[in-house]
Every structure is written in C-alpha cells, then in structure tokens.
Amino acid sequence: MSTTTSADNPRGAGLQTGRATAATTAPPKRRKRQKGWWLPLALLAPAIIFEIIIHVIPMLTGIWISFMQLTKFYIANWSAAPFVGFKNYAVALDFNGAVGADLLRSFAITCGFTVLVVGISWSLGMAAAVALQRKFWGRGFFRTLFLVPYALPMYAGIIAWKFMLQKDTGAVNHFLFDNLHLGGDKPFWLIGDNAFWSIVVVAIWRLWPFAFLMLMAGLQSIPEEVYEASAVDGAKPFRQWRAITLPMLRPVNTVLLLVMFLWTFNDFNTPFVLFGNAQPAAGDLISFHIYNASFLTWNFGSGAAMSVLLLIFLLIVTGIYLLVINRRSRRA
Amino acid sequence: MRKRAIIAGAIAAAVALVAAGCSGSGGSGDSPSGSTITYWASNQGTSLDNDKQVLTPVLNDFTKKTGVKVKLEVIGWNDLQTRIQTAVTSGQGPDVLNIGNTWAASLQATGAFMPFDSAAMKAIGGKDKFVKTALETGGVAGKDVTSVPLYGLAYGLYYNKAMFTAAGVQPPTTWEELVTAAKALTKDGTYGFSLAAGSYTENAHFAFINAAQNGADFFDKDGNPTFTSTGAVDGIKRYLDLMQTDKVVNPANAQYDNGVMAVNDFAKGKVAMILSQNNADSSINANGMKTDAYGVVPFPAPEGGKAVASHVAGINLSIMKNTKNKDAALEFVKYMTSEDTQSTLGKPYATLPVLEGAKANFTDNAEEAATFQKIYNTMSKPLPLVPAEDQFENTVGKAMNDMFSKIATGGTVSASDIKAALQDAQDQVKQSMGG
C-alpha cells in the first residue's frame, strides 16, 4: 500500500525546485584549488569507469567486429578472424540479396510496430493520467492497478500472454469463441500474420503504464489555479486539455516520446519470450532479427554490422528529433 | 527498520548471486580425485526434473568410484544450442557436455572442443568399443573426432494398433499407403498424423529424410549447399502436403515447437500415427499408454524411392578444450560410455546402444527393439558431416516452420514457393560461410 500514499503526495514535484537552487550556486574559483577539490572527481570516477566498461568498450568492440569475418571458424580465437572491410555492410545493405531483403523487411515491420505501440501507449497513458488527475474515492486503487503490468517481472507477464494466445487452449480464443460465440474458426495468434497484432498488443500492455506514470507525475506540477481560472473563462475540459495540459506537459512529453521510441524500436524481450524459437515472419522485430542473424548462423561480423547500422539510424532519428524540438522551443 | 531489513536482504541476495556466478569456473586439479567437473546434459527423459532423477544416482556412483564430483545441469532442447554457442564464444562453459550428434561437425569447426586423439581415445576405452557408424557422427571424416556417441536414436513411425484395427488398415510400407491410412483415420476429431511442425530441428530432419528418399543431398562433396534440387523440393512438398492437401494433420500442430507435444497427442489417442525417435517410449509410457498398444514400422519411402527411414540420430559427448580437469573429464566420458552405465541409462531414456555388440534394452517389446535396431543399422543416413550443417538445420528448418504456419493459417505453399524459400536459405548459408 505504500505506493498509493506516496503517489498521492503532491510534494513529489519538489524535486525540480531543489535542482534549480543547486544550479544557481556560484561555481568555485579556478586558480586557487579549494580544499577537497578532488572529492567531486573521486565521486564521479566510479560512474565514469563503469560507463566505459559497460557501454563504451562493448560498443567499440561491436564496431570493430563489424569489419571482421567473425564466423564459427574463428569464434574460439577472435584475433585470427580476417579483416573484410565494409563487406558485412555491403551484404546487409544489398536489398536484392537474401540477407539484405530480410533485414529491410524486418526494419519495415519494426517501424510499423514502433509507431503503433508508442502512439497507442502514449494515448492510453495520457487518458488514464487525466482521468485520475482529480481526487475521487478509489483513485489510489486505480493508480496501483494501472501500474501492475509495469511492476510485473517482464518474463512472467509475457509468458502469461503466450499461454493466453494459444490457439486451442488459450484464454483469448476461449473468451472470443466459447463465451462470446463469435462465428468461424479459432485463429492462430502466435504464428502467421496475426503474430504482428499479438506482439503489438503485448508491447502496449507492457509500455503504457510507463507513459501513464510519467504523465501523471508531470500533471502534478500543473497548478490547480490555472484550471480554475480557465473554467471561469468558460473553457470546457477538452479545451483545457489542449490549451493548458498539453503545453505544460511539453518538457515531459519531449523526453517521454523519445525514450519510448528508443525502447520500443530496440525491443528484444517481447518477441524473444513470446515467440521463442518459432519466430514468425510477421513478428520479426529488428533486434530479434539481428540476434538471429548473429547467433543462429554464427555470423557475428554480419550481426555486428547490422547493429551498427541500427545504431546509426537511431542516432540520426534522435538527432533530428532533438534539433526540431529545440528549435521550436527557442522560437516559442 | 523494515526497509533496512529489505535492503540488507537485497544486497545479500545480490552478493550471493555474484558469488555463485563466479564459483562456476573454479576448480583445478592435477589428480582427478577431489576435483569437480560441470556436466551439461540434454533433456532425454520426460522432463528436466526426470532427467535429474535419472542421472543423479548414476553420477553419485561415479563420484564414489573416482572421487570426482559432478555438477549437473540439464538443458532443454530449445536452449541447448544457444547455451553451447555462448559457452564456445565466451570460453566459460562446462567441462563435459551433451550435443546433438548432427551438430558435431559444426561444433568441431569452432575449435572449442577437445579432439579425441589416440591418447584420449585410449583413456576412454578405445575407439573399437563404439558402433562404427555411431562414432563416425563424431566429426568430419579424416580428423580426430571431437565427440563420442552416448545415446543412439532413430526415427520410427509409431502407430496405434487399436485405431488401425478399428479403421481396417494395415501398417504402411510405402508413402502412398501411409497417406491412404492416415486419411481413413482422420475423422470425428481425431487425426491420422501429428507432426512437430513448429520445431525447426524436427522439420530440418524430415526435410533431409524426405529429400534423401528422393536421392537428393543438401550439400555437395566440398560442403557447399545445394538446397534447391528438385528432389529436395519434392521431398519437402510431400511432407508439407500431409497438412496442406491430404489434411491428415491438425493445423494446430504448426505451433508444436517440441516433439514431445506430438508424442503426447499420440499417447492420449488423439492421433493414430507419429514420427518420433525411439526415446518417445518414455513419454508414451509416462502418459499411460502400454507398450503393446502401439507398433513401430520404418518411416516409408514413396514407391520407387530409396529406403531411408531416418538420419543417424543420437546424442554425443564432448569435452571443452579449455577444461581445467582434463583427466577427470576423460574419466567421466569413459564412465558414461561404459557398458554398465549404458545399460542403466538405456531403459529410462529408451536409447539404442552405441557400444559394439550391446543389445537394445529400452523396451520389453522385442519386435519394437528389433525394428529400431534395423532402422538404425541399415536404413539410416547420416546428416551431412560438414561445418555448415547446423545452418542447414536453422535456415531450412525455420523456412519449413514458416511454410507450415502459412498452410495452417489458410495459405497455400506451392513447389515454386518451396524452391524460393530454399534459395533464400541457401543464400544465407553461403553468406555466412563467407562465400
């Protein structure tokens, strides 16, 4: 129950003011080193060291591997793998070849998947956050309930979906066809084209509570008076949402959409747990595709090249997004 | 106060996890006695727990005899290949492990497994103790093998005797008879046949067997892929058509990603026939079907085809090259392939003996034992012993998964679709071979 009480506490927004005061304190003078000048560096060092070990080194290794022909013949002794330059990239980008064509198809599926999942998750999260903005009896209960998918261990949640989506024994088909008596044959959900919709639904189920949580936190910082004043001016709820809520949530939305986009585009766990080894063509998301390309065929050079291409794509999208957002906010 | 206790608990758990993770690679030893080896066993029994129950007394006996402790981990078939790859890539793995014998040549190519040179072979009891065809699956011809046979397996066609009598059909001896019988047996919610149509390994095996019946090979002499021959396309089409045009297979089988699911349907009387390796016996009996309620015949070829009923299936034992307990590992392999252990494990795992002169003891049904022995000895063709074999299983097996899904969801798969899918698979294999 501790979650509900802390969620009800509006002082959670006090964090922002704390940060503002910290930023306004005067920076230390440069020439004379103050006593204990090394302390911040010492405190930062572990973070930097681990960042290098956990992020930077593996990333550089990945880029290095993408120029090697690292197949199973060299896997026990990496250093012996021959250098092949851009060959792995050429194969991955040759959309007339089998490997490139599959990669392109997987990329297209992932784009569709991301747009749907991020769009619907954000809408659901926004709707729920606004609905639970006003105090009413049982609000704490609903807030907790909505966060359940986010709190559940990912593996357990997706495995439960996997059982529910079975053709003959699953709860979904049982509900639709045995209880609601829809006509026709029970469809497959985890193979064939339906697999795409299954994975979209499961991914939304997992992601929307995060949007809800962030937007709910953002709504706490909008003062009640603004709504009251607009009500006096005769604004209806939708107008209030469009003219007050949305603009004031802008900083939250900027970050939220970017983070959700990156997570969803890179989603590996959902298809991996949901489909296992029997991965259908329609649910072939790009992270999963790259994993298969490197692990099932033992061709790590090719897989690394695809990963680097994915990294470049995501960097470009993120860069453009931030540029556009920043330019707009400067104009505003 | 409670919060602090929780945090302390979490930290303790994290520390314990890390410590447990580190201890895995420990152990050293000049003399095998007193050392500990890690053994990865594949899932041979009815469940992972069943495997532990079967193996634990056998391993305890080994410890008693030699003083070497064995840390056992049983790994399911869906994870085994990935786990082995991770072990090979990272160099962190077990000392001794089970592999599917069809992967032997592929894993040999990685160089991560210890070759059984003459000294090592002598240490485990000499190569003459093994059945020759079984030992030949241990690696590429002309090199020291990197795995030795542990359990022998072969595919057979299991049929339900009561259902056959009721429908008035005989056990099939040709493919055509098989289809006719299956059609007669498909009625009132039961099906003539069940296939693990969502299992890429099973699908790849039957792509190979059906193609072999047509005289087609998936690799040429130099180990280059030749997936798109007419014989291969026709063989795969024949197999897919059991679900597509003959309609004797429940479309729901497209989701069976594990052979045991088809076996269970058979044991429960939902289907009249299955194709399975002889280790199905343990699952069938566990489901309450008696040994005399079913019969086994060789998987039939079409009229005029080659009498190939199975690939030389089975489980091999390998030692990781970087093991720190080489002597103990060799001692363990010797023990596992000894006559005593083989006959102890032959029954619960329902396996064929890999030792020269040993008799199959997995079933009381002498006829079944003889049939499987005949299939294994005279009607089995080894899967190509080339480094790219595992990629054949992956690419062709997955392509067949997709084709079965397409059929199950109402689509059609023509011969030219199959050829295109095989071409695609071949391109992928060629590319990863660096061609």
pLDDT in tens, B51-110: 999 999 999 999 999 999 999 999 988 788 889 988 988 888 899 999 999 989 989 988
Confidence of residue B32 (pLDDT cuts 50, 70, 90): low
Are A69 and B390 inside 8 Å of each other by CB?
no
pLDDT of residue B21: 40
On the question of pLDDT at B13 being above 50, the answer is no
pLDDT of residue B66: 92
Establish whether domains B2-153+312-377 and B155-311+382-432 are of one fold. Answer: yes
Q: Domains in chain A and their CATH numbers?
A: 110-257 (1.10.3720.10)
Q: Looking at the complex, report in whole angstroms how far the Cα of residue B405 sits from the nearest Cα belonging to chain A.
A: 6
Confidence of residue B14 (pLDDT cuts 50, 70, 90): very low
Inter-chain CB pairs, A–B, below 8 Å: 100
> Mean pLDDT, to the nearest integer, of A30-50?
85
pLDDT of residue B64: 94
pLDDT in tens, A270-322: 999 998 766 788 888 999 999 887 877 778 888 999 999 999 999 999 999 99
Chain B residues with CB under 8 Å of A299 CB are: 431-432
pLDDT of residue A13: 42
Cβ-Cβ contacts under 8 Å for A47 (sequence gap 6 or more): none
Q: Compare A158 and B16 and report the one with higher pLDDT.
A: A158
pTM summary value: 0.80
On the question of pLDDT at B228 being above 90, the answer is yes
On the question of pLDDT at B16 being above 50, the answer is no
User: B207 burial class (0-12, 13-18, 19+ CB within 10 angstroms)?
Assistant: buried
pLDDT of residue B28: 40
Q: Which residue of B has its CA nearest to A71?
A: B432
Confidence of residue A25 (pLDDT cuts 50, 70, 90): low
Rounded Cα distance between A299 and A305, Å, is: 10
Q: To which residue do tokens 């003219």 refer?
A: A243
Confidence of residue B423 (pLDDT cuts 50, 70, 90): very high
Confidence of residue B113 (pLDDT cuts 50, 70, 90): very high
Cβ-Cβ contacts under 8 Å for A283 (sequence gap 6 or more): A109, A195, A196, A198, A199, A271, A274, A275
* Neighbouring-strand partners of residue B187: B190
Are B112 and A280 inside 8 Å of each other by CB?
no
> Mean pLDDT, to the nearest integer, of A223-250?
89
CB-CB: which of A71, A98, A277 is closest to B434? Answer: A71
Are A192 and B433 inside 8 Å of each other by CB?
no
Q: Looking at the complex, report in whole angstroms how far the Cα of residue A276 sits from the nearest Cα belonging to chain B.
A: 8
pLDDT of residue A328: 76
CB neighbours (10 Å) of residue B126?
Answer: 10
Give me the percent of chain B exceeding a pLDDT of 90: 58
Are A298 and B390 inside 8 Å of each other by CB?
yes
pLDDT of residue A15: 42
Helices and strands of chain B, counted as H and E runs = 17, 11
On the question of pLDDT at B358 being above 90, the answer is no
Question: Helix or strand or coil: residue A169?
Answer: coil
Q: Which of A290, A319, A317, A316 is nearest to A305 (CA)?
A: A290
What does the DSSP 8-state code read for residue A243? I
Cβ-Cβ contacts under 8 Å for A133 (sequence gap 6 or more): A216, A219
> Mean pLDDT, to the nearest integer, of A70-89?
83
pLDDT of residue A170: 86
Q: Looking at the complex, report in whole angstroms how far the Cα of residue A154 sits from the nearest Cα belonging to chain B.
A: 19
User: For the domain B155-311+382-432, what is the CATH superfamily, name and number?
Assistant: Periplasmic binding protein-like II (3.40.190.10)
Q: Which residue of A has its CA nearest to B255?
A: A191
Are A280 and B255 inside 8 Å of each other by CB?
no
CB neighbours (10 Å) of residue B385?
Answer: 21
Q: To which residue do tokens 């930097």 refer?
A: A48
Task: Say which CATH class B2-153+312-377 falls into.
Answer: alpha beta
On the question of pLDDT at B165 being above 70, the answer is yes
Is the distance from CB of B310 to CB of B155 less than 8 angstroms? yes
Pick the residue of A72, A294, A297 with the most B CBs within 10 A to test the interface with B by mutation.
A72
Q: Compare A16 and A30 and report the one with higher pLDDT.
A: A30
pLDDT of residue B24: 39
Are B255 and A166 inside 8 Å of each other by CB?
yes
Confidence of residue A332 (pLDDT cuts 50, 70, 90): low
Are A188 and B401 inside 8 Å of each other by CB?
no
Domain ranges of chain B: 2-153+312-377, 155-311+382-432
On the question of pLDDT at B194 being above 50, the answer is yes
On the question of pLDDT at B387 being above 80, the answer is yes
Candidate from A221-230, A254-263, A322-331, B254-263 with smallest mean pLDDT: A322-331
On the question of pLDDT at A5 being above 80, the answer is no
Candidate from A260-269, A320-329, B263-272 with smallest mean pLDDT: A320-329
Arithmetic mean of pLDDT over chain B: 87
> Mean pLDDT, to the nearest integer, of B128-157?
91
On the question of pLDDT at A8 being above 60, the answer is no
Are B257 and A278 inside 8 Å of each other by CB?
yes
Kindly list the distances between the CA atom of residue B198 and the CA atoms of A203, B85, B257, B368, B408, in Å, as whole numbers in the listed order: 23, 22, 4, 28, 11
Q: Looking at the complex, report in whole angstroms how far the Cα of residue B362 sits from the nearest Cα belonging to chain A.
A: 31
pLDDT of residue B306: 93
